[in-house]
Amino acid sequence: MKARLLLASASPRRRELLAQLGVDFSVVTAEVTEHEEPSTDPRVMVAHNAALKAEWVAARHPQDYVLGADTTVCLDNHVLNKPADLAEARAMLRRLSGRTHQVYTGLAWRRAAEHFAIDRIAVSEVAFKVLDEAVIETYLAKVHTLDKAGGYAIQEHGDLIIASYRGSLSNIIGLPLDETKQILTAAGLLPESPVSTPA
Which residues have a catalytic role annotated? 70
Are the C-beta atoms of residues 71 and 33 closer than 8 Å to each other? no
Candidates 84, 99, 89; CA nearest to 131 is 99
Beta strands at 65-75 and 78-80: parallel, antiparallel or unpaired: antiparallel
Total residue count of the chain as it appears in this document: 199
69, 5 in Cβ contact below 8 A? no
Non-local CB neighbours of 136 within 8 Å, separated by 6+ positions: 90, 93, 94, 97
d(CA 180, CA 44): 19
CA–CA separation, 7 and 28 (whole Å): 6
Q: Could you tell me if 55 and 108 are in contact, meaning their C-beta atoms sit under 8 angstroms apart?
A: yes
